[in-house]
């Protein structure tokens, strides 16, 4: 009796496995029929090996074989590659709303940063509101006190010249850009040109920029996401946590003063606009969200551009 039971269990397992495999193959054939043509993909890793060290060259060669729109699997991620102006126009102009979403990389999910960043938020009411606020505040010339920041930079360079002191262009560029942005965001200077106090902040921002630009296996193979094999998410969390601690000293007094009637005029900066948004009845935008938005969404991107021109 025990032997018969064992045989029946084995047969049942084999039949169930066959049904699952056949069902999966049938589903894959139906779904793949809707996808553009593309090269054969290896299980788990997909077409990652075919990209090589120069993905742009590899994609150019593949497009000559499979056409201006093709399908690749990067790990477990289905990817559509467009390589002609006509197809790009069709997608980006005529179907922009359909294609406006994006996958959130593992690194951007550190400390739930993706829930507050304009970069990673899905298109919706919250995203539109934040985009409008940032656009209005950052495009106002009155708020971009560039003349004051550049004046301080000229004075510092003149002082260095008089004393025969060498100037670190990268560091001074970071500090000037940081002050330009911080005066726009919350009406204070975060850096002193003749001090090394911002060295740690510069290092942490550079870590964030580097990690966001590094290919991460966890984004392509979900099975290893919890393991974080390259340690990128952990390094990002460490740097981001420290940056938020540095920013707390500047932002917390402003947060607290909102509940106190001091009689002083309100500051006209991005932080004030975000605090107004935070206090709206139907807003789900928290004070922590404000910190994430200010310190990463704006600082990292703008400083990366300014330091690599």
pLDDT digits (tens, 9 = 90+) for 25-45: 444 444 555 889 999 999 888
- Residue 72, classed as helix, strand or coil, is strand
User: What CA–CA distance (Å, rounded) separates 27 from 190?
Assistant: 56
| pLDDT at res. 139 | 64
| pLDDT at res. 178 | 77
- Find all residues with CB under 8 Å of 15, minimum gap 6, and list them: none
- Which class for 164: exposed (0-12), middle (13-18), buried (19 or more C-beta within 10 A)? exposed
User: What CA–CA distance (Å, rounded) separates 112 from 246?
Assistant: 18
Q: Count CB neighbours of 201 within 10 A.
A: 21
| pLDDT at res. 21 | 46
User: What CA–CA distance (Å, rounded) separates 154 from 161?
Assistant: 10
**Which tens digits make up the pLDDT trace of 225-238?**
889 999 999 999 99
User: What CA–CA distance (Å, rounded) separates 291 from 251?
Assistant: 8
| pLDDT at res. 33 | 57
Give the pTM.
Answer: 0.72
| pLDDT at res. 73 | 93
User: What CA–CA distance (Å, rounded) separates 98 from 28?
Assistant: 23
Task: Say which DSSP state 231 is in.
Answer: -
Q: What domains sit in the chain, N to C, each tagged with a CATH number?
A: 34-100 (no CATH), 125-307 (1.10.630.10)
Rounded mean pLDDT for each run of 10 residues along the chain, 309 residues in total: 55 55 46 80 90 92 94 91 89 79 87 83 83 73 62 85 86 79 76 67 82 90 89 93 84 74 66 81 76 66 50
């Amino acid at each position: 009796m025990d032997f018969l039971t064992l045989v029946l269990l084995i047969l049942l397992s084999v039949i169930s496995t066959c049904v699952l495999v056949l069902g999966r193959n049938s589903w894959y054939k139906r779904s793949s029929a809707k996808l553009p043509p593309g090269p054969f993909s290896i299980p788990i890793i997909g077409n990652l090996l075919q990209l090589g060290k120069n993905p742009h060259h590899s994609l150019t060669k593949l497009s000559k074989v499979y056409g201006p729109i093709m399908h690749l699997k990067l790990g477990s991620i289905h990817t559509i590659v467009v390589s002609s102006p006509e197809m790009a126009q069709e997608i980006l102009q005529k179907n922009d709303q359909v294609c406006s979403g994006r996958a959130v990389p593992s690194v951007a999910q550190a400390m739930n940063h993706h829930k507050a960043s304009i970069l990673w938020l899905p298109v919706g009411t919250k995203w539109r509101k934040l985009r409008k606020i940032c656009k209005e505040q950052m495009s106002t010339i009155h708020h971009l006190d560039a003349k004051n920041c550049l004046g301080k930079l000229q004075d510092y360079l003149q002082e260095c010249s008089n004393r025969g002191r060498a100037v670190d262009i990268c560091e001074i560029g970071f500090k000037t850009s940081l002050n330009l942005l911080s005066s726009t965001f919350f009406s204070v200077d975060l850096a002193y040109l003749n001090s090394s106090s911002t060295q740690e902040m510069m290092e942490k921002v550079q870590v964030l920029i580097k990690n966001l630009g590094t290919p991460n296996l966890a984004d392509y193979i979900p099975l290893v996401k919890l393991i974080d094999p390259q340690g990128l998410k952990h390094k990002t969390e460490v740097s981001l946590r420290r940056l938020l601690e540095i920013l707390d000293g500047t932002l917390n007094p402003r947060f607290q003063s909102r509940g106190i009637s001091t009689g002083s005029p309100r500051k006209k900066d991005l932080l004030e606009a975000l605090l107004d948004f935070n206090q709206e009845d139907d807003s789900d935008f928290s004070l922590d969200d404000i910190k994430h938005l200010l310190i990463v969404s704006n600082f990292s991107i703008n400083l990366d551009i300014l330091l690599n021109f």
